[in-house]
Amino acid sequence: MTKIGKFFVKIFSFLTISVFLLSSCASKKEVVYFQNTGSFETLVDKNSFTPKFKVDDLISIHVSTLNSEASAPFNLFRGASEGGIRPEQVDYLIDKEGEIDFPVIGKIKISGLSSEEVRALLRDKLSEYLKEPIINIRLKNFTVTILGEVNRPGTYPVNGERITILEALGLASDLTVKGIRENVMVIRDFDGTKVYTRIDLTKKEAMSSPVYYLTQNDVVYVEPNQSAITASSLDNRATIAVSIASILITSTVLLITRN
């Protein structure tokens, strides 16, 4: 290959490397969590978050007493126990009015209440039928959705009654280096009302945020930083430019070698 051909090859390589560098740079300040914490620091959790039930929540409620026959009417099951088949307990869906239809008692409004508050409410209403009932309540459809600049975006089921935003991002294998940690958005729905809240994960004050603890069906969105936006906008242009440069280099080399 002639000197001119080698020159064009160098230009082609330079363009390719430049595009790569422009699309992948990120500073330490952009990717480090809790940057304002000391080397040893104690932070008391003052976040008094208590999960509440919402419309469209699916919950299971099981009532038990020392006398199983007495508590049986307050537990709904489908299927028979014949032939070794264990009956399946029926779950309750909170309707648009925030209510469930409970056996014997009837309609009970539980939207906006915590599981402990629902236990107290049921215990009071069951007091005329049962002595010292034990009430177990569990949310069955607790999921969170993680979108944007994370390694594994998706919707994830949650075991238990609450999860922190850090634990949720851990389910999605953390943010990519192109995710903006200073401005993570949490979209929360409560009975049809959408609330948008932003949280700065580079500061320790994030642990006091009202969205540090997530609720069922929360959506966490991580915005791309400028390098990711630039890379996205350059993708098509870079592909076209590299293709044109490749064609020019190839054509030039062929002409030179023929001459």
pLDDT value at position 59?
95
Which candidate, 12, 93, 102, 24, places its Cα nearest to that of 53? 93
What pLDDT, on a 0 to 100 scale, did the predictor assign at position 216?
93
10-residue mean pLDDT series, the chain (259 residues):
54 53 56 75 71 94 93 85 70 95 95 95 94 94 96 95 94 94 93 91 92 95 80 58 62 59
Per residue in 162-205, pLDDT tens? 899 999 999 999 999 999 999 999 999 987 889 999 999 999 89
State in Å, rounded, how far the first CA of the chain is from the last one: 12
Distance CA 235, CA 223 (A): 18
Burial per residue of 228-256, b for 16 or more beta-carbon CB atoms within 10 angstroms, e otherwise: beebeeeeeebeeeeeebeeebeeebeee
- Give the pLDDT confidence score for residue 212 in this predicted structure: 95
pTM of the model: 0.72
